[in-house]
Structure 1
Amino acid sequence: MTTRTTVTDGLRSLSAGLREFYEAPYRRTLSRARRDEDDLFTVVVLAEALGVPNPASYYTVELLPLVADRVHEWHTRMGMERSPLDGISCC
């Protein structure tokens, strides 16, 4: 190994350590914000099935198969014992 590769590897390691040092405190906050956005998206897509009038239901009906896989995770996170949807029984 040459001195140049050793210095380059050291700088890469230092850069990765600094990146982790600055990003680590925000990782939990960002994951919680993403989960909240996903929950809101799920509610918007399932609004018509939940009995809430949705003016965009024509567009969101195509997204139902994508959200149907995550209904169980969503309703348990929202504190519901069973799925509030009649057509989807996950528990």
Structure 2
Amino acid sequence: MKGIEALKKMLKLYDEILSVNHRSEIARDLRDEDDLFLLLCLSETLGLPNPAFYYTLELYPYMLEKFHEWHLRMGMDKSPLTGIRCC
């Protein structure tokens, strides 16, 4: 068991060493993917047809929190969409 735990620690350390220089790039890519997902899920409110609307409907409570964070990060004090009142 000690050998497996030591191997896990070594793999974790190796992963941290590889990603230390790329943390900001990874965070930016994850944020961009999250923004794209938010756009796809909220496309109905923007007037764009969303074929997966029925499947993404249960995600709306989660997306409202993310939408609020997004429009504040974009420098908008209030929601730019009239259908979404998060502030």
Report the equivalent of 1:78.
74
Measure how far apart 1:76 and its partner are: 2.6
Name structure 2 gaps, 5 residues minimum.
Answer: 1-8
Q: Which moved more, 1:58-67 or 1:40-49?
A: 58-67
Q: 2:19 aligned with 1:23, yes or no?
A: yes
Structure 2 distance, partners of 1:44, 1:78, is 17
Structure 1 stretches (4+) deviating beyond 4 angstroms? none
Structure 1 distance, partners of 2:16, 2:58, is 39
Q: Which moved more, 1:55-64 or 1:79-88?
A: 79-88
Query: RMSD of the TM alignment (CA)?
Result: 2.4
Contact 1:72–1:83 (8 Å) recurs in 2 = yes
Q: How many residues align?
A: 79
TM-score under structure 2 length normalisation: 0.70
Contact 1:75–1:82 (8 Å) recurs in 2 = yes
Q: Which SS does the other structure have where 2:68 is aligned?
A: helix
Instruction: Select the structure of larger CA radius of gyration.
Output: 1
Structure 1 distance, partners of 2:27, 2:21, is 11
